[in-house]
Amino acid sequence: MNVLIIHAHPEPQSFNTAMMNLAVQELSAQGNEVELSDLYAMHWNPVASAADFGSRQQPDYLVYALEQRHNHQQQTLAADIQGELDKLLRADLLIFNFPLYWFSMPAIMKGWIDRVLLSGVCYGGKRFYDQGGLSGKRAMLAISVGGRPHMLVEGGVHGDVNTMLRPILQGTLAYTGMTVLPPFVAHHVPYISHEARLELLDQYRQHLRRLDQLQPLQFVSLNQFDEHLNPL
């Protein structure tokens, strides 16, 4: 299996970086080919702009998604985007590793999604959900949060963590066709002891060893809708 880990944390000694290093070690030991995109270390540019395109279908007005399609066809995408797209298309499993910022991902990772998940390749037209361009791939979030477990469940102060993450889980991963595995959530990380962090890392190792046993999250199928996307 080919695995791509997309990692976003600015501190090389952080707990998230320890999670990333553990995943590389564990998944490689399982016999997988693991690639890494360490976005801060790469100085990844998160800003989608006209500079991403070596040619323009519409020089006078930028429609980013249409230029993605055109430049992919013409093989004129910016080199950093093309390199990440190649990794993405090789991958059978994607792991997005990051600390939760404002109920979402860091801006640098959002910029990776904006620039790399190309229209015409990953989605477009009616190529979404189970008919998306990345159908057949699996994806998982591996995140750290400041809150305690009881704060991130239904009825808790922040609500269920999967509901909190729905724009990512459904609106990005499932939307592009990927099978979405349950996220691994390391709770209360900034406030716990070193020993407690080691226990969380061991829990993550066990999670990675059970990937094939995890029940994917369920989202809609286009078979539930007619040609105009009205519910059947």
- The tens digit of pLDDT for each residue in 177-228 reads 999 999 999 999 999 999 999 999 999 999 999 999 999 999 999 999 999 8
Q: Which two tokens stand for residue 180?
A: 């979405």
Q: Which two tokens stand for residue 170?
A: 């459904």
Count of domains observed in the chain: 1
Q: State the pLDDT confidence band at 30, using cuts at 50, 70 and 90.
A: very high
Residues 117-140 have a mean pLDDT of 96
Domain presence at residue 230: no
Do residues 5 and 139 touch, judged by C-beta distance below 8 A? no
Residues 166-184 have a mean pLDDT of 97
Query: Is the per-residue pLDDT at 126 higher than 90?
Result: no
Question: From CA 11, how far away is CA 14, in angstroms rounded?
Answer: 5
Domain presence at residue 229: no
Query: Is the per-residue pLDDT at 51 higher than 90?
Result: yes
Domain presence at residue 214: yes
Query: Is the per-residue pLDDT at 152 higher than 90?
Result: no
Q: Model pTM?
A: 0.96
Q: Which domain holds residue 127?
A: 2-224
Domain with 45 in it: what CATH number?
3.40.50.360
Complete DSSP assignment for 59-124: TTS--HHHHHHHHHHHT-B-HHHHHHHHHHHH-SEEEEEEE-BTTB--HHHHHHHHHHS-BTTTBB
